[in-house]
């Protein structure tokens, strides 16, 4: 073949102009996944780093399980980066914006500000669209400007198609929302990737209309999420939220002037059931404090306890493991024994002291974050064992050498 007479090479050169696409090496075209933090250490870990840029994320679950809180805290964290001048490594600029589409017409301004959002800052754009098409088409146009880094749809269940909004109540319009969401999602993913932006869809769980098949008495009815199956397919990450317990505190009832117990927080189980940017099926338990959002301090304490930086005995949290690192100050109680181990008695006291001493609390959160980061990096380095082939003498010899060198009983051989 003569030089320059290569049809494939000519096609690749003309691909961008002729087909509006780039074809070549994956390393040259595909970029590494960059994440936006959700503001909670445990959720970031479960998702593999947080909200992936250039991707779609679906957060779904029953009411009051932390979906909106996650979205608002992620927006607040991103806004803080934007206000600080951006982050060049992540492609975030000082003039970038966040777009929040409140289809439910139910945004709580007080709660949003409590989570750290500056609602008056130019980086936070807010709208309450009347129809699915209006918000979807505006979002696509906004993303093409290159200024939008995060879009939040609250929620899929409330994204009402215009045909349904204009029709009489009770008129049958089968699967119209699902069809529109399919068209929107196919276009959205491509636009997000080119715009280096993330999209969060908040969604609910509802009882499925499909009751086919036998269902034994006592079994819960099958559930599904609104918007059809297309949302499940075009979302790179799907996260399910479920309340597992409520925590109560004692207050003085202003009406009776008596002590009463009221819910103060809820513990939520977060499970990543689909993940195309990190290992799936990771789980985490997080605490949501009513009116304050996710309790990152509580999560950090779980990390420190699990890694034996703090010990819990007889209702006391002992900090002697990290006293040398400056986290056991003089105000902390000490036993009269020779060890004089510093401690705090009771869970309520440790959170109260955290509110009183923000520097101490933030120091513990930072320490837990570093521990979790090291653990994630160590996990990523653990390679699966290579299959042992009977006639592979090199592998057999390498295995024999490792076994001879292994002196610790039960030691795991990570690399062969």
DSSP string, 42-97: HHHHHHTSSEETTSEEEEEESTTSSHHHHHHHHHHHHHHHHHTTEEGGGTEETT-E
- CATH architecture of residue range(s) 20-167+175-209+224-294: 3-Layer(aba) Sandwich (3.40)
- What element of type H or E holds 303? helix 296-306
- What is d(CA 95, CA 86) in angstroms, rounded to the nearest whole number? 8
DSSP symbol at 167 = S
State the average pLDDT over residues 252-276. Answer: 91
Q: What is the pLDDT of residues 214-234, one digit of tens each?
A: 567 777 777 888 888 889 999
Contact 66, 286 (CB under 8 A): yes
Q: How many whole angstroms separate alpha carbon 32 and alpha carbon 21?
A: 19
Listed in order, strand segments (DSSP E) in 253-322 are 259-275, 283-289, 293-294, 311-313, 316-318
Q: Is residue 223 a contact partner of residue 206, using CB atoms and an 8 Å limit?
A: yes
Q: How far apart are CA 244 and CA 269, in angstroms?
A: 6
Per-residue pLDDT averaged across 125-138, rounded?
Answer: 96
* Whole-number pLDDT of residue 393: 54
Confidence of residue 382 (pLDDT cuts 50, 70, 90): low
Mean pLDDT of 291-298: 91
Q: What is the pLDDT of residue 410?
A: 37
Crossing angle (nearest 10°) for helices 358-381 and 296-306: 60
Domain positions in the chain are 20-167+175-209+224-294, 305-381, 384-416
**E-only strand ranges, 331-410:** 333-334, 342-345
Q: Which residue has the higher pLDDT, 120 or 220?
A: 120
The CA distance from 246 to 290, in Å, is 11
In terms of pLDDT, which residue wins out, 183 or 20?
183
Specify whether the CB–CB gap between 173 and 167 falls below 8 A. yes
Question: CA–CA separation, 270 vs 282, rounded Å?
Answer: 8
């Amino acid at each position: 073949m003569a030089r320059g007479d290569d049809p494939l090479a000519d096609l690749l050169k003309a691909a961008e102009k002729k087909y509006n696409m780039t074809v070549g090496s994956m390393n040259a075209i595909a970029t590494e996944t960059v994440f936006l933090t959700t503001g909670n250490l445990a959720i970031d870990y479960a998702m593999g780093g947080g909200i992936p840029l250039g991707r779609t994320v679906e957060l779904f679950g029953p009411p009051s399980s932390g979906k909106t809180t996650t979205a608002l805290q992620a927006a607040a964290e991103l806004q803080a980066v934007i206000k600080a001048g951006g982050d060049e490594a992540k492609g975030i600029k000082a003039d970038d914006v966040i777009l929040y589409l409140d289809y439910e017409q139910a945004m709580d301004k007080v709660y949003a500000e409590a989570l750290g959002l500056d609602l008056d800052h130019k980086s936070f754009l807010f709208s309450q669209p009347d129809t699915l098409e209006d918000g979807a088409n505006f979002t696509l146009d906004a993303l093409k400007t290159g200024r939008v880094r995060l879009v939040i749809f609250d929620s899929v269940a409330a994204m009402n198609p215009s045909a349904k909004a204009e029709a009489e109540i009770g008129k049958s319009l089968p699967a119209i929302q699902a069809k529109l969401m399919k068209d929107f999602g196919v276009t959205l993913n491509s636009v997000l990737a080119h715009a280096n932006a993330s999209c969060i869809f908040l969604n609910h769980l509802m009882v499925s209309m499909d009751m086919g098949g036998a269902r034994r008495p006592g079994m819960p009815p099958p559930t599904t999420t609104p918007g059809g199956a297309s949302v499940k397919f075009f979302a790179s990450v799907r996260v399910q939220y479920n309340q597992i317990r409520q925590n109560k505190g004692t207050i003085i009832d202003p009406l009776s002037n008596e002590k009463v117990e009221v819910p103060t927080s809820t513990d939520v189980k977060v499970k990543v059931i689909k993940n195309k940017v990190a290992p799936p099926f990771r789980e985490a338990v997080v605490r949501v404090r009513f009116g304050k959002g996710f309790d990152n301090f509580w999560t950090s304490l779980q990390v420190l306890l699990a890694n034996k930086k703090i010990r819990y005995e007889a209702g006391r949290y002992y900090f002697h493991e990290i006293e040398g690192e400056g986290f056991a100050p003089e105000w902390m109680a000490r036993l009269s024994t020779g060890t004089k181990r510093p401690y705090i008695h009771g869970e309520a006291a440790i959170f109260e002291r955290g509110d009183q001493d923000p520097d101490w609390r933030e120091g513990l959160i930072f320490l837990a974050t570093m521990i979790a980061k090291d653990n994630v990096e160590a996990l990523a380095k653990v390679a699966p064992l290579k299959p042992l082939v009977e006639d592979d003498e090199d592998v057999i010899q390498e295995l024999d050498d490792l076994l001879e060198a292994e002196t610790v009983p039960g030691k795991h051989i990570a690399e062969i």
